[in-house]
Amino acid sequence: MIRKNRSKSSPVGIFDSGAGGLTVASAVKQLLPHESIIYFGDTAHLPYGDKSAEAILHYSRKITDFLLGHGCKIILAACNTVSATVWDNLNRYISGKAIPVNVIDPVVENVVRLYPGSFISIIGTKNTVNSLAYPEKIKKLSPGAKVSSLATPLLVPMIEEGFINDDISSAIINAYLSDPKLKGTETLILGCTHYPIIRDQIIDYYENKVEVIDSAMIVATRLKEILESNDMLNESSYVTDRFCVSDHTEYFGKIAAMFFHDQIRVEKIDLWR
Ligand code: DGL
């Protein structure tokens, strides 16, 4: 149940440490074009991948308060690091005020259902990998599953600095994906919402022989099911989207333009003043 002042036309709140969650926001807009979204990228504190759980919870709660303050009916943590490290606490914080959604549960359920018996690997931030959230959740649903994980911490700063589809990103991606821990991978989960931005380079590395799982459309589909089952789909024709960051960075706008075709204005909001 959510608070009575949330209505069908209330926005969907989506947040991440930076531009990564835009991959999910863009899938949400493709699938649910009649929903208004408020996106918050915490660029002032990026990356979350090596911060303490305490700091991540502090940032996530502050952003959640901002999104709740704008009447969001859903709070979607479009960040694996948040979903892996502080989700139980954040879920409780949001519950009763809006519908909490994380990015890990829908992906795990999808992969276990669609790729039974496959050797599943996960790449993600140090925090996501060290939390063991993915292997534990996968093994809970599929006890005999073969799972391996590798922290790939350079990928988020690389992407946020605009190193995409070039020699530098190819060298870093190749160095990580050739790690022995990933040898024999049949299904690779991109366990960070930034990674779909370099999905094509990852597919090229594997010469199309590995299933590369991108959370964006899986999570957007789950969001649609949640809105439908709660009778909360927007029926009004008034749709407005906002894109907010805690600090202006050179590449947030460029990455946003890749997904939203230059149509967006990025607002700087200082939640920590
Ligand atoms: N997109 C975030 C994730 O899914 C990136 C984390 C970071 O800022 O390091 O984990």
- The percent of residues above 90 in pLDDT, for the chain, comes to 88
Mean pLDDT on 263-271: 89
Handedness of CA 46, 48, 53, 59 (dihedral sign): positive
**Is ligand 1 within 6 A of the CB of residue 118?**
no
pLDDT, tens only, 219-255: 999 999 999 999 999 998 899 999 999 998 888 888 8
Q: How far apart are CA 161 and CA 252, in angstroms?
A: 9
Q: What is the pLDDT of residues 183-200, one digit of tens each?
A: 999 999 999 999 999 999
Q: Which residues of 86-106 are buried (b: 16+ CB within 10 A; e: fewer)?
A: bbeebeebbeebbbbbbbbeb
Q: At 162, list the tokens.
A: 């605009």
Nearest CA to ligand 1 atom 2: 79
Q: Select from 14, 15, 17, 42 the residue to mutate for testing ligand 1; criterion: most ligand atoms less than 8 Å from CB.
A: 17
192 as an active site residue: the answer is: yes
202 in Cβ contact with 188 (< 8 Å): yes
Catalytic site includes residue 72: no
Distance of CA 143 to the CA centre of its chain: 26
Categorise residue 184: left if φ over 0, alpha if ψ from -120 to 50, beta otherwise.
Answer: left
pLDDT surpassing 80 at residue 3: no
CA of 110 to the centre of ligand 1 (A): 21
Cis-peptide into 47, omega within 30 deg: yes
Residue 191 near ligand 1, beta carbon < 6 Å? no
CA–CA separation, 20 and 194 (whole Å):
4
| pLDDT of 119 above 80 | yes
Residue of 87, 194, 245, 246 to test ligand 1 pocket, by largest number of atoms within 8 Å of CB? 194
Quick one: pLDDT band at residue 30, thresholds 50, 70, 90? Answer: very high
Beta-sheet pairing, 74-77 with 99-102: parallel
By three-state DSSP, how is residue 113 classified? helix
For 51, residues 6+ apart whose C-beta sits below 8 A from its C-beta are: 45, 59, 127
pLDDT at residue 2 in the model = 58
Set 79, 108, 156, 218: catalytic member: 79
Out of 77-86, 101-110, 158-167, 218-227, pick the least confident.
158-167
At 160 the pLDDT is 85
Which pLDDT score, from 0 to 100, does residue 272 have?
A: 84
Q: What is the pLDDT of residue 6?
A: 83
Q: Domains (ranges, CATH) in the chain?
A: 12-102+217-268 (3.40.50.1860), 105-215 (3.40.50.1860)
Residue 143 CA to ligand 1 centre (angstroms): 27
pLDDT at position 136 over 70: yes
Count other Cβ atoms within 10 Å, centred on residue 55.
12
Does ligand 1 lie within 6 Å of residue 82's CB atom? no
**Atom nearest to 128 CA in ligand 1:** 10
State how far the Cα of 138 lies from the Cα of 140, in Å rounded to an integer.
Answer: 5
Cβ of 156 below 6 Å from ligand 1: yes
CA 242 to CA 29: how far, in whole Å? 12
Residues 6+ apart with CB under 8 A from 243: 39, 41, 256, 260, 264, 265, 266, 267
> For residue 193, what pLDDT is reported?
95
Res 75: pLDDT: 98
Catalytic option among 27, 192, 218, 256: 192
Q: What is the pLDDT of residue 262?
A: 66
Q: What is the dihedral of CA 54, 56, 57, 60, to 10 degrees?
A: 160
Beta bridge partners of 190: 123
| Cα separation, 226 vs 209, whole angstroms | 33
**Would you call 231 helix, strand, or coil by DSSP?**
coil
Residue 150 tokens read as 């590798």
pTM across the whole model: 0.95
Structure tokens at 83: 């979903």
H helices present in 70-198, as ranges: 80-85, 87-94, 104-114, 126-131, 133-141, 155-160, 167-177
Q: How far is the CA of 46 from the centre of ligand 1 (A)?
A: 8
